[in-house]
Amino acid sequence: MSFNNPFLRESWQRKKEEETFKQERAVNIYLDTKLEAEKYPNLNEIFERMEHSVIRYGKSINMLAIVARSENKDKRMLEEIDRNRRLAHNALIDELNLLSRQFRNIGIDNEWRKEIGLDSKTVGGWAYKVAEFISSDILKENNYEN
């Protein structure tokens, strides 16, 4: 019955469009920043470390979700995985801030850092969206796409 409700259908469609926009914007920030960083060897090195942190954070989120859903979850294991997630998240924020400062020091626009967000949850959401993009891009490059 709820599928016949035009208000719910419209609401779900709007939410889907908003999520698609957020995903696209997150990826665009990542790609624009990458293009700019590639012009400068020292920025590119920092960008690559940040990119590695994004991937590490995405993997840690996935691992936490897998273990949390498993029937044989162990509290100590969950705590260790969550600790690794927090460490990956903190490293990611450090790398993002370092990259942003270096952009500013060279005189390159670093408004992307504010757009990613300054609070922990927003940064994590951005990073997870980018990690999904990087993973899917790697799969496509290796002919493993669905």
Taking only the tens place, the pLDDT of each residue in 1-59 is 455 777 666 666 666 556 665 889 999 999 999 999 999 999 999 999 999 999 999 99
Is residue 78, in this structure, part of any structural domain at all?
yes
Is residue 132, in this structure, part of any structural domain at all?
yes
Is residue 112, in this structure, part of any structural domain at all?
yes
Is residue 74, in this structure, part of any structural domain at all?
yes
Give 134's pLDDT tier (boundaries 50, 70, 90).
Answer: very high
Is residue 56, in this structure, part of any structural domain at all?
yes
Is residue 107, in this structure, part of any structural domain at all?
yes
Is residue 146, in this structure, part of any structural domain at all?
no
How far is Cα 27 from Cα 10, in angstroms, rounded to an integer? 26
State how many domains the chain has: 1
pLDDT in tens, 103-120: 999 999 999 999 999 889
Which residues span the domain enclosing 46? 2-141
